[in-house]
Amino acid sequence: MARKKIIAGNWKMNMTPTEAVALVEELKPLVVNNNVDVVFCVPAIDIIPAMKAAEGTNINIGAENMYFEEKGAFTGEISSNMLVDAGVKYVIIGHSERREYFAETDETVNKKVLKAFEHGLTPIICCGESLTQREQGITIDWIRQQIKIAFLNVTADQAKTAVIAYEPIWAIGTGKVATTEQAQEVCAAIRVCIAEIYDAATAEAIRIQYGGSVSASSAPELFAQPDIDGGLVGGASLKPDFGKIVNYEG
Q: Which are the catalytic amino acids?
A: 95, 167
Compute the least distance from the CB of residue 173 to ligand PEP, in Å. 4
**Residues 26, 242 contacting (CB under 8 angstroms):** no
The values of phi and psi at residue 93, to 5°, are: -130, 130
Compute the least distance from the CB of residue 176 to ligand PEP, in Å. 9
One of 83, 235, 242, 247 touching ligand PEP (CB under 6 A): 235
Tell which residue, 76, 83, 7, 14, has the closest CA to residue 42.
Answer: 14
The residues in 114-173 that bind ligand PEP, with binding defined as CB under 6 A, are: 167, 172-173
* CB closer to ligand PEP out of 12 and 244: 12
Stretch that binds ligand PEP, among 31-39, 69-77, 148-156, 205-213 (CB under 6 A): 205-213
Q: Kindly state the number of chain residues that form the binding site for ligand PEP, as judged by CB under 6 A.
A: 14
Task: State whether residue 243 is helix, strand or coil.
Answer: helix
Task: State whether residue 207 is helix, strand or coil.
Answer: strand
Contacts of 135 (CB under 8 A, 6+ apart): none
DSSP conformational letter for 226: T
HSE-CB at 120 with a 13 A cutoff on CA atoms is 8
Compute the least distance from the CB of residue 167 to ligand PEP, in Å. 5
Compute the least distance from the CB of residue 212 to ligand PEP, in Å. 5
Residue with the closest Cβ to ligand PEP?
234
Q: Rule CB under 6 A: which residues touch ligand PEP?
A: 10, 12, 167, 172-173, 211-214, 232-236
